[in-house]
Structure 1
Amino acid sequence: MPRLVFAQNIYRSIDTSRFTDDTIPQKDLIDVYRSVFKEKPRPPLGDEKKRFYFSFLPEGSSVVQGPGKALITSTTGAFYLGEKSNTSISTITFTPYFNFTGRYGIPIHSNLWLKNDDWNIQGDTRFLVYPVTTWGLTGNTPENDGFVLNYKYVRFYQSVLKRVNDDFYAGIGYYLDYYIDLDINPTNPNAFQQYTGYKYGTLADHNSFSSGPTLNLLYDTRKDNNMFNPLPGFYASLVYRYSSVPLGSDNNWQSLYLDMRKYVQLSYSGPKNILAFWTYYWTSLTPGTPYLDLPSIGMDPYQRSGRGIEQSRYRGQRLFYFEAEYRRDITDDGLLGFVVFTNINSTSEINTNRFIYWHPAGGAGLRIKFNKKSNTNIALDYGFSKNYGALLINLGEAF
């Protein structure tokens, strides 16, 4: 009996991109289209030489936060910047939307992995016009007591991380948030500050500007690090932000964002069968954080948290979030699947910094494999909570 043995990391050594037996080839909507129109089938997974995988989804659905319906186009690109054997898949998402009531946005997210996964470059750029409802800084504000806040928003986040060892990365970044022409309804110029009881970034007809460096840490054992459809493993990210007056900020302030996710594969044969967990803790570390930069539900980096809860419904100095989801294939070929999810969040009260009010939500969704090469699903989710429900349509998983 050996006293010491060595084994490979299971998430790096086992090909978990296939959850079915080898005798059952994977299928997506592109395969369905080719079979219906009698076109030549694509090469099997792993045999093709193509390095870029493209997905496009025009849709009309309820807006995450705002009145009426929206026209949305979701475009994703997945590609390799190195050899597939030693480089994770890079992803870019572009999701412009317009909702006929003056709210529109042009967000672009990127997550690039350079050759051998030696470097990771993360980007988040947005231009938004945002008539949005806000409910202040307490967790028990009634639904009908919010008021409309109008503004234009420019975001520019860029981070560069260097591999320290197999799964750990460290780096720096730069974050810029620019809120332009804060306009409120009612029109009383003092109503915003009076309503929130908060003095930073709440002056009507003013701008709010934050700019400064970040310190970024990342630990990721997931195979391929695919943001569209993560495979079993563990993910943790920490971002420390310092917005400073010398770099243009209205105030000096600091924040911390800690994000952790765990994906557990329940079976290694047959249909995909996964439990996924997500939690994050987001806190303002100092006074001076502008109101719209305070932690808020649904305003995480990919704006995917709080399914079943209105975006920005709860805001505070600190925010805690937890979500669990069960993911299962319906068909052995991976074309159809379903998810069931539940989440809960709480923001700290402005006067006590205590977590008092907890807000649960839940729902279920259908998955349709759009592109098996990039493992991208069409995600149709219905989430609900007290006094609210919404249908959400995305390319890729929520987390």
Structure 2
Amino acid sequence: MKTSFLTLIFWSFIFNFSFSQEQKEFQANKFNNFKLVPLPAVASNPANGWMFGLAPAATWYMGQPESTKLSNLVGNLLYTTKKQWIFSIRSNIFTNENRLILMGDWRYFITSQPTFGLGSSTPNEVQLDPAFPSSNGVLWGEQQMDFRLIRFYETVLKRVSDTNFYLGLGYHLDIHSKIENFLNEDQNVVSGQFTHDAYNSYHGFDTESYTLSGITLNAVYENRDVAVSPYEKNYAFISLKFNPSFFGSDQSSSTLLMDYRHYFNLNPDRKRHLIGVWAYGNFLMTGNLPYMNLPSLGWDMFGRSGRGYAQGRFRGENMLYSEVEYRFPLQQNKETFGGTIFLNANSFGSKFNGEKLLETINPGYGVGLRVMINKANRTTISADYAFGREGNSGFYLNINESF
């Protein structure tokens, strides 16, 4: 009750702060050039397997296209070959004349996912973590997890004068529940504690359910031409997150997230011919986080980091990630088909087992095909095959560019 009351007060403040001056504009504006693509979904990645269902994608303008950036929303209602249910809505909305940005990430998962332990040097096969004595063994390598996730992230950013800079506040809530750890029947039988349980018990968290609830201070530089498929310019995002116990978190903590993307156009006459660069960092600043809330590969907003590995393949208190992608058209005079070649790298540090950030770096690389199904708004179907170290690989089928 206390958490719900505080959250209500917080969002009442955000709503009044953000919309009091623009209420008339919202009432006056209609959605311009609204495009809804109610795609029957067939998607794939290593963590979920093949996914089937609906994946509606929408784009529209909240004002005149000449002065307002394109808003977008991607939804998922999916069932997977690994017997998972995935419901999500993720949005990036620009109000009239770009005065506000509304960033939303809402999810409900009934899912499963392997975890491999903490740090960057975790092996594929299950064994004992050498950082711990055998008398108190902690498993290392592939360990299976079933869990449920409720996520509600919403951020409101207000434009600073007529610049491309935005400042704002957000609320983030993650509830993990019904967590079960196990090994598959075909895995080697190794006696030891599951990494999830050992880590959570060491830091005083429950091993079956936990909550992370917090507010964020955010700054954005939004200079991309179209967010879902940029051809030029750049984007930067900094988010300082506070998770106080009085907001509902099991323990107080704080984290820092930094995200930068730049697009170098190689041909002014064919702007689809470009090099994209992505740098991403996520760091625990104070306190402790529950295991599944630690920075992890593939858990960015749209789940696009780390092609070549399964979601959650690497995890730790601190994370660095980078990627470069060469994008090019495959037709001389049309934009329907395109291709990509990409290279990425990640590194994780973990105080729990003593591994330092950048001590081990995991590369990934691959190629992809792009099919643009809406040229006006650049809605694109992307298909990638990527490889990582030690035999890790995967096929990825999604909507829109990876970053």
- The question of a shared fold, defined as TM-score above 0.5 by the shorter chain, is answered with yes
Q: Among the aligned pairs, what percent are the same residue?
A: 28
Deviation at 1:277, TM superposition (A): 0.3
Contact 1:190 1:203 in 2 (8 A): no
Q: Deviations over 1:242-298 (max 9, x none)?
A: 011111110000001000000011111146211100010100111221111111010
Q: 1:273 to 1:184 in 2, by over 3 A?
A: same
Paired residue total = 347
Partner of residue 371 from structure 2, selected from 368, 373, 391: 368
**Partner residue of 1:269?**
269
Contact 1:90 1:112 in 2 (8 A): yes
Q: 1:184 to 1:85 in 2, by over 3 A?
A: same
**Partner residue of 1:177?**
174
Deviation at 1:129, TM superposition (A): 1.2
Q: What is the alpha-carbon distance in structure 2 between the residues aligned to residue 194 and residue 107 of structure 1?
A: 27
Q: Which stretch shows the higher mean deviation, 255-264 or 214-223?
A: 214-223
Contact 1:170 1:217 in 2 (8 A): yes
Contact 1:220 1:233 in 2 (8 A): no
Give the letter for the 1:372 counterpart: K
Relative to the length of structure 2, the TM-score reads 0.81
Q: What is the alpha-carbon distance in structure 1 between the residues aligned to residue 271 and residue 251 of structure 2?
A: 52
Q: Deviations over 1:17-69 (max 9, x none)?
A: xxxxxxxxxxxxxxxxxxxxxxxxxxxxxxxx961012233343433314x43
Q: What is the alpha-carbon distance in structure 2 between the residues aligned to residue 395 and residue 191 of structure 1?
A: 35
Q: What is the alpha-carbon distance in structure 1 between the residues aligned to residue 192 and residue 215 of structure 2?
A: 32
Contact 1:200 1:291 in 2 (8 A): no
Aligned with 1:357: secondary structure? Answer: coil
Higher RCO by CA contacts (8 Å cutoff, separation 6 or greater): 1
Deviation at 1:102, TM superposition (A): 2.6
Partner of residue 149 from structure 1, selected from 137, 145, 148: 145
Deviation at 1:97, TM superposition (A): 1.9
Which blocks of at least 5 consecutive residues in structure 2 are unaligned? 1-30, 127-141, 185-190
Partner of residue 118 from structure 2, selected from 137, 153, 161: 137
**Partner residue of 1:315?**
315
Deviation at 1:83, TM superposition (A): 0.8
Contact 1:74 1:394 in 2 (8 A): no
**Partner residue of 2:282?**
282
Which blocks of at least 5 consecutive residues in structure 1 are unaligned? 1-48
Q: What is the alpha-carbon distance in structure 2 between the residues aligned to residue 211 and residue 96 of structure 1?
A: 25
Alignment of 1:55-70 (within 5 A): 55-66=37-48, 68-70=49-51
**Partner residue of 2:215?**
213
Aligned with 2:303: secondary structure? Answer: coil
Q: What is the alpha-carbon distance in structure 2 between the residues aligned to residue 275 and residue 284 of structure 1?
A: 31
Q: 1:292 to 1:352 in 2, by over 3 A?
A: same
Q: What is the alpha-carbon distance in structure 1 between the residues aligned to residue 394 and residue 53 of structure 2?
A: 15
Q: What is the alpha-carbon distance in structure 2 between the residues aligned to residue 290 and residue 366 of structure 1?
A: 37
Q: 1:93 to 1:62 in 2, by over 3 A?
A: closer
**Partner residue of 1:88?**
69
Contact 2:119 2:355 in 1 (8 A): no
Deviation at 1:73, TM superposition (A): 3.1
- Misfit runs of 4+, over 3 Å: 59-64, 186-198, 200-204
